[in-house]
Amino acid sequence: MQKKTNDKDMPPQICRPLASKSKRGGGNHKFFLKTYGCQMNKLDSEAIAGALSELGYEMTVSEKEADIILLNTCSVRDLAEKKALGKLGLLKKLKKKKGNLLIGLAGCLAQHKGEEILKKNPHLDFVVGTREIDRIPELIAEAVERKKRISALSSCREIKEPSSYLRADNIKAFVYVMRGCENYCSYCIVPYVRGPEKSRPSKDIVSEIKSLADSGYKEVCLLGQNVNSYGRGLKEGIDFSGLLEKINSIEGIYRIRFVTSHPKDISEKLIDSIADLDKVCESIHFPLQSGSDKILKLMNRGYDLSDYIKIVDRLRGQVPDVSISTDIIVGFPGETEEDFNRTVKTFEEIRFDSSFIFKYSHRGGTAASRLEDDVPFDVKLERNKCLLSLQGEISQKKNDCLIGEKQEVLVEGPSRKNIKMYTGRTRQNKIAIFPGCDDIKGKLVSFIPERASPNVFYGKIENSKL
């Protein structure tokens, strides 16, 4: 494992999940970490795991074996909150059996309702919000040494970039380019729990990605709630296209992806970057949320359907093989059958490659929480099912058209579902499954799809490109 450094200019170190001895007490201390929610939470968990590994803790997949259990939570929808709280409740028994077990709650739900949850759950030792995850080692030491229950929930502290990550993957890595969001979409809790937007200086990002490339990573996915507004507030005068250009020239990195793009901030320059920069993949996720202008306005999204369609047309004009994925919320307050049918029609017209469809979930404190949550649950469910099935048909047809068409695939390793097969992704971010061997892991290969499901291509490799 690499050593921790305090040098601010050094890129974060990459830790691998090696077994190590705890520096506290000399025993073999273990931590169990469960992550709920989005890629940002997954990346935060990799940072938490990196910090705990540096402390000498070993990661375990068994809760019973753990000395520390951490839940890194999400509060975007009620269901995510319920899952985390349910899990926390179940841990009570384990805590009773194992008195010295430490239990912590981190992330968005902790930020949102940490104090209340701490009060209601005497078996919970600490809560830590989204701006203080770098303090977890210090909080653990405090909880152990002072036998104190702790909350660290500052809403204004400057976030410190982690000094190391224990990454789940060794081919693809997520990299923060900005944090927070100030778009205040009316349904969304994120601006309240993740705070205002802040871009990272490009030299820090480039240095982190160079270090990833040196460690053998081939693909980076740049993360931010709204990557297209990257650069706002930075003195260096750079925008997201400028950042992509810098990353595109990093040797050893083959592919660049990014999430999430807000339609109101997708510029012509960004579309040019996708078209012109060879490592930037032809794949973009930009949430539409609804096909009804009335609902988009109520959602405070800052664009209407025609603006969105213009971007789709421009993208497809300049990058013909681009894949487009989206997010949709069904059952937003006031969504009538007619509004929903507009979304259905938009799906039929745009024909997304894939989509994530969510049932509207009332979030206390957001602007939409002042509107009546008037679409009954079974109607939300029906609309959700309808879009899922429509998307399934569209994805199947789109994928069928690509049977026999050569695709560039970055090989990630053995498939989890069938270890005899290998898996990777096309530039359009579609999953490919094929017979392979470890020699091609981390390589770009030429893949021929032979059959497809809505989400996966099955086929064979023609040759290794690199």
Interacting residue ranges for ligand 5AD, rule: CB under 6 A: 76-77, 187-188, 287, 289, 327, 329, 358, 360-361, 363
Among 20, 22, 183, 446, which residue sits at the site for ligand SF4 (rule: CB under 6 A)?
183
Residue 208: name the closest of 5, 18, 442 by CA. 5
Q: Among 133-141, 183-191, 341-349, 416-424, which window interacts with ligand SF4 (CB under 6 A)?
A: 183-191
DSSP 160: P
Within 223-242, the residues that bind ligand SF4 by CB under 6 A are: 225-226
Choose the one of ligand 5AD, ligand SF4, none that binds residue 2, judging by a C-beta under 5 to 8 angstroms depending on kind. Answer: none
Instruction: Determine the distance from the C-alpha atom of residue 281 to the mean position of all C-alpha atoms in its chain, rounded to a whole number.
Output: 17
Among 91, 188, 222, 288, which residue sits at the site for ligand SF4 (rule: CB under 6 A)?
188
Minimum CB separation of residue 35 from ligand 5AD in Å reads 15
Identify whether the C-beta of residue 294 lies closer than 8 Å to the C-beta of residue 322: no
Choose the one of ligand SF4, ligand 5AD, none that binds residue 226, judging by a C-beta under 5 to 8 angstroms depending on kind. Answer: ligand SF4
Minimum CB separation of residue 181 from ligand SF4 in Å reads 3
Q: Is 262 an interacting residue with respect to ligand SF4 (CB under 6 A)?
A: yes
Alpha helices in 121-157 (DSSP H): 136-146
# chain residues binding ligand SF4, by CB under 6 A: 10
The Cα–Cα gap between 219 and 172 comes to 5
Question: Residues 368, 370, 373, CA angle at the centre, nearest 5°?
Answer: 70
For residue 2, count CB atoms less than 10 angstroms from its CB and return exposed for 0-12, middle for 13-18, buried for 19 or more: middle
Q: Is 190 an interacting residue with respect to ligand SF4 (CB under 6 A)?
A: yes
Contacts with ligand SF4, 196-225, as mask; x by CB under 6 A: -----------------------------x
Bond before 423 cis per omega within 30 degrees: no
Strands (E) across 289-395 are located at 323-330, 354-359
Identify whether the C-beta of residue 177 lies closer than 8 Å to the C-beta of residue 204: no
Q: Is 40 an interacting residue with respect to ligand SF4 (CB under 6 A)?
A: no
The Cα–Cα gap between 446 and 343 comes to 37
Closer residue to ligand SF4 (CB): 255 or 363: 363
Closer residue to ligand SF4 (CB): 191 or 334: 191
Q: Is 399 an interacting residue with respect to ligand SF4 (CB under 6 A)?
A: no
Among 105, 185, 220, 305, which residue sits at the site for ligand SF4 (rule: CB under 6 A)?
185
Minimum CB separation of residue 382 from ligand 5AD in Å reads 16
Choose the one of ligand 5AD, ligand SF4, none that binds residue 217, judging by a C-beta under 5 to 8 angstroms depending on kind. Answer: none
Bond before 260 cis per omega within 30 degrees: yes
Q: Is 186 an interacting residue with respect to ligand SF4 (CB under 6 A)?
A: no
Identify whether the C-beta of residue 436 lies closer than 8 Å to the C-beta of residue 464: no
Closer residue to ligand 5AD (CB): 293 or 327: 327
The Cα–Cα gap between 409 and 171 comes to 13
Residue 163: name the closest of 301, 52, 61 by CA. 52
Q: How many residues does the chain have?
A: 466
Minimum CB separation of residue 133 from ligand SF4 in Å reads 18
Closer residue to ligand SF4 (CB): 76 or 85: 76
Choose the one of ligand SF4, ligand 5AD, none that binds residue 358, judging by a C-beta under 5 to 8 angstroms depending on kind. Answer: ligand 5AD
Element (H, E) at 273: helix 268-276
Element (H, E) at 167: none
Closer residue to ligand SF4 (CB): 188 or 266: 188
Cα 169 to Cα 42, 91, 172, 217, 419: the distances in Å are 11, 28, 6, 9, 17
Q: Which positions touch ligand SF4 (CB under 6 A)?
A: 181, 183-185, 188, 190-191, 225-226, 262
